[in-house]
Amino acid sequence: MVKKFITIFSVMILVFSCMVYAAKVESNVIRYSDMIGDNAVYNDAVNGLSRASVINGFEDGTFRPLEKVTRAQFSKMLVMWLDLKEKATF
């Protein structure tokens, strides 16, 4: 009887943990309106960098994965990725 209770309780905890994890992962997904169809292959990388605040897309809610990256955009991504702080030395 006790073993059955422990088994049922363990399964309930496991199921609840999976539900909480799934909800947490879904809430962390950042969606861009142009990341569908052929562009969906970039979703994991784009969402990971978005969660890390390295990239944030454009004001219109798009990411534009096929557009060329400018030097300024690349510089900002590099600074954000390396977590560099501004140090003014004049």
Considering its fold, how many domains does the chain have in total? 2
The pLDDT, as a whole number, for residue 71 is 92
Q: pLDDT digit string (tens) for 37-89?
A: 877 788 888 888 888 888 888 999 899 888 899 999 998 888 888 888 777 56
Host domain of residue 13? 1-29
Q: Alpha-carbon distance 83 to 17, whole Å?
A: 32
Whether the pLDDT of residue 24 is over 50: the answer is no
Q: Alpha-carbon distance 77 to 43, whole Å?
A: 17
Cα–Cα distances in Å, from 15 out to 2, 20, 39? Answer: 20, 9, 33
- Comparing 76 with 2, the larger pLDDT belongs to 76
Assess whether 38 and 23 both reside in one domain.
no
